[in-house]
Amino acid sequence: MTRADLQWTQFRRLLLGTVLESLLDQGARVEFSSIAIDFSDQSRFHVPRFNNYMRFVGTLTADLAAPLSPAAPAALERALMDSWHELLKSIELPVGDSLTNEDSSVQVVVVSKGAAWSLTVSFDLEAD
């Protein structure tokens, strides 16, 4: 496995853990075996490099055993945005450089599928 592959794996784990913590905080009943995370080809990871840059674009999907509360999607979006900003503050780069948020969006959608519900978290997180 290459260094780049390891970095993607670590970020996928970080994002997955953040989403799961946030869902648990909201009392969501997630079908864990249904969770999938996919990154778009628009994603880039250049840290640490001379020109540091990160952009993570993709979706996380999961089935829910029960609907979320009406306030949960917005709370989940806020928690994920807060985590993104916390991550950027925690990354130490060489030569005193730092990553700053350039553009970021998180959208949480819950769709009813009869007696079941599906969750989609779309994200576009960019730092330079």
Q: Is residue 124 in a domain?
A: no
Structure token pair of residue 11: 């970020």
What total of structural domains would you count in the chain?
1
Q: Is residue 23 in a domain?
A: yes
Q: Is residue 57 in a domain?
A: yes
What residue numbers bound the domain in which 100 lies? Answer: 3-117
User: Looking at residue 109, what is its pLDDT?
Assistant: 94
pTM, to two decimals: 0.84
* Cα dihedral 91, 95, 100, 103 sign: negative
What one-character-per-residue DSSP string does 36-51 give?
Answer: EEEE-TT-EEETTSSS
Q: Is residue 128 in a domain?
A: no
Altogether, the residues listed in the chain come to a count of: 128
| Residue, of 65 and 47, whose pLDDT is higher | 65
Q: Is residue 125 in a domain?
A: no
pLDDT in tens, 16-41: 888 888 888 888 888 989 999 888 88
Q: Is residue 42 in a domain?
A: yes
